[in-house]
Structure 1
Amino acid sequence: MIEKAMREYGCAGLALVFVTWALISVVYPALQKSWFKSTVSSPELTENRRRGLEHYLRTIAESPDRRWRDTPAWRVFLNLPSGGSAAGSAISSGGLSRPQQAGAGDPGTWLDMHREMKACLHEARLALARRDGASEAGNGTGAAEAGAAAKRALVKAGTVGFSLTDGLKAMQEGGRLGDGELRRRRDLLSSAKVEREGLDKLSNSFASAQIGHQGQGGGGREGIAPAGDKAALLGAAASRARTGGRVLGAPLPETERTRELDNDGVLQLQKQMMGEQDQQVEALGAIIRRQKEMGLQINEEIEATTDMLDRMNEDVDRVGGKVRVAKNRIKKL
């Protein structure tokens, strides 16, 4: 039985079955094994087992218990990133399998796949930078390899993006997320789509430049993207207006003070800025304390003035009474 599982699903599938049995009883009854039949010679049995495995994985992906999806065997079997960063496995394959597409309908797996897509875009950006550096150095082979790596990363990011869009629609139809969270995730997809389109344009400009160079048959640097395209791409993230909601994990743009600093320099600059902010807060606190003292003094003066006006009002009433008495006496005389 173990050899049959190894032959049909590989080591990852066998480990997934073992971990599944160890975690809980079963969310969905496991696929039935046969001692006398083989999927190698029976296309019908192969298709039945494929549908059964898809149903099995969908049940695990849609289960409210996350222990199933947090196991290493599950992530290895679906080629998901093992942690918060998916840079190491972002370019491992050019597309997604059916179980991965089913996993996009799970809110937790959706975030993992989104991180994988962001890692693909990051890898594409690094590959484009290597391509330009190799082109400037006259290394045509290195430039071509870096350009191909960037293209593969962009294709993988586009495939993951389509699966994330379908998964978001499935979660919306199933009511698994609130309106605010759905809106935030749509904003994440829109931002990633704009970034991918910019990188794709920059990648295609390399091939256009090469074709133009070959047509002219002349010198100059090969495959260098126009400076306008680079500036438009690098400035897109900073100049693009946010459509609403909050975007988590978006990097802050570089400033004049941080552009030339390394990590230690940025840390020292941050400490210096925090010290300046503390001084400004202390100065503001002193101003507020002085204003409070002035307000208390003004309040005391107002209370004293109010007392004087009350005494004056009493004196006016007393004098008015004496005047009335004097008038009455005058009338009698």
Structure 2
Amino acid sequence: MSLAARSATSDPIQSVSVPSFTKLAAKPDPHVAFTVSISLPTRTYSIQQRYSAFAALYHKLAATCGAPPPAELPPKHPGSWFLAPLAAARDLSDAQLEERRAGLEHWLRAILADRDPRWRSSRTFKDFLAAPPDGAGGGGQAAPGGEGAVSRSWTATAWTAEHAAVEGAARQLRTTLDRRDAQLLASSSTAHATAKEAKTALVDLVRRIGDLANGLQVLAKDGMTEGELHRRSALVERLQGEVEELGRKAGRGPRAGAGRTGPSSRAGDDEPPTAARQALLSGAGRAPARVLGAAAAASLETPETRALDNGGVLQLQQQYMDDQDSKLEALTAALRRQRHLGEMINAELALQEDVLDQLDAGTDRVKGKMKDAQKQMKRL
């Protein structure tokens, strides 16, 4: 592994910035959210954090790393000290908020650029930025649910960021499959490489959706509300359905040359092949190898296809597609297991909701008995 690869694996966060802020007036908690943009080796994403989250991060880093971060956190504007806590940030001027945004960006970059890596390498800092764990490489591949799978500590913010990243990866996979279909219809030699890229992306999507489902179990244990868990479980189920559709799309790709609709092809669709046409397709009367020229052979040919004729190349391509179909069937089975896991999560959430209802009813009964006991004590 090269030095750059080792660096990317051990420290996946490449850069961080705070490009903007947003005033949110939603009641009962109006506040200002600062947009934090994080760049990883394989993707870039954004999260939103309040100033109080930055302040909490500062104190956690100072407590867990043995020393405060290398730069000071920008203080609250003096004019906000005398305002109500919920209205303080909202009542600041745009100039004051811009000054705070620049200070927060300088503070994060100072942590990332400092020679001492203990602050930027801490799990607290990476959880704040919803960054992948050490060794994940910013979205690298791992064995789906087996050995080599990367474990991570989930937070609500990290789960949301990962869900957005998985949605983007699904859109990218759909684009890749469309490009593969166009290449197959055009009998392009790059169709196999594109199909392999799509298959790798599909395997990675299945793994990451499984991680999201496991993350919901962690968040449930951490005390996330029932309604929010239901909402996120529905998001996972929607992603699973979308990936299943992509798996079917990957398995039913068009055959090479199927898009040719010229007059000669239409006229000969229902006609039996002539002897000349049979000879052309079977390669009779000529050497089995194809000569494409030096430049073409260097860019298009591979050791597997160089010694084959056109029929052999088509047969090899069909074999590749059959292999992909068998692997996609295995992926479909894995997706079914993931959906079953989501249904189990829903059932568990429903059971917990019933237990909470029973607890509420029991609490009401105890309160009634306590009131009766207090009345009797007053009478005594």
When the two structures are superposed, what TM-score results if normalisation uses the length of structure 2? Answer: 0.35
Question: Rg larger in 1 or in 2?
Answer: 1
When the two structures are superposed, what TM-score results if normalisation uses the length of structure 1? Answer: 0.40
Q: From the two aligned structures, give the one with the greater helix fraction.
A: 1
Q: Which has the higher contact order (CA 8 A, sep 6+)?
A: 2
